[in-house]
Copies of this chain bind each other. A is one copy, B any other.
Amino acid sequence: MKKQSARRSTHLAWSALSIVVLVAAWQVAASFSDPRLLPGPGRVGATLVAAGLDGSLFTNIGITLARVFASFVLAMTIGSAIGIALGRVVLLNRFFDPWLILFLNLPALVIIILCYIWLGLTEVAAIIAVAINKIPNVAVTLREGGRALDRDLLEMASVYRIGRWRTLRHVILPQLTPYFMGAVRSGLALVWKIVLVVELLGRGSGVGFVIGSAFQLFDVSTILAYALAFVAVIQMIEFLILQPCERRLNRWRR
């Protein structure tokens, strides 16, 4: 029966230890290889500081983050709605299953090109392209959740006629939490990766743009610096938003 804050701080200690070990492993690996090919933490750190000082790091991460955020929200909302509907209504699923498989497996490239061509090389096109890429993934995950719902509770909801909205809110959504959290986590990652491609193919700013350019010059240090900076941001989101959220949502568990 530790206190809340004590638990929080041992948790942080573990994370810190983990990161230290990771960096050490990286350092060891780097010391065995050409610094051009795998620059060590020091070198990447220096690149990071330089990019931070001239401001380009923050601008680019900021821009990318805004795109990630916008398309993530769009994709999660639409994807969850589609997934739950398909998971609950058999006929809908029968009909739309092939569509889902199509969009799930359409290469990102195809969707991105078509979006850019149709909507122009604009911010809106970029965000829609990313969202379209991600929506089927969310839908597929939540559809599984929608199928695995507890029948006892659904029956209870139907006998007590609590209505669609309350059923959704009190009976269905809480059961989907783990699926949703899974979709959020791998979704955030996926969206960010697609944003990179989208930026590579048609934006003149953002981390994807920087990484793409750095790849042309084979500047691994810059690639890693930007990638890690973004990972750090996600790590923060995980700590400050996702985990507290999850703790709250799982409070009821024995």
A residues neighboring B (CB under 8 Å): 11, 14-15, 17-19, 22, 33, 37-38, 91, 94-99, 101-102, 104-110, 113-114, 117-118, 136-137, 140-141, 143-145, 147-148, 151, 177-179, 181-182, 185-186, 188-190, 192-193, 196, 211, 215, 220, 223-224, 227-228, 230-231, 234-235, 238, 250, 253-254
Contact = CB atoms under 8 A, between A and B. Distances in A.
A144 B181 contact: yes
Contacts of A114: 37-38, 220
B113 A220 contact: yes
Closest 8 CB pairs of A and B: A14-B94, A144-B178, A144-B182, A148-B178, A104-B189, A141-B182, A137-B186, A105-B231
A64 B199 CA distance: 26
Contacts of A144: 178-179, 181-182, 185
26 contacts: A15-B97, A17-B95, A18-B95, A18-B98, A18-B99, A19-B98, A22-B99, A33-B118, A38-B118, A101-B238, A102-B235, A104-B185, A104-B186, A104-B189, A105-B189, A105-B234, A107-B193, A107-B211, A108-B193, A110-B227, A136-B186, A140-B186, A141-B182, A147-B178, A148-B177, A186-B186
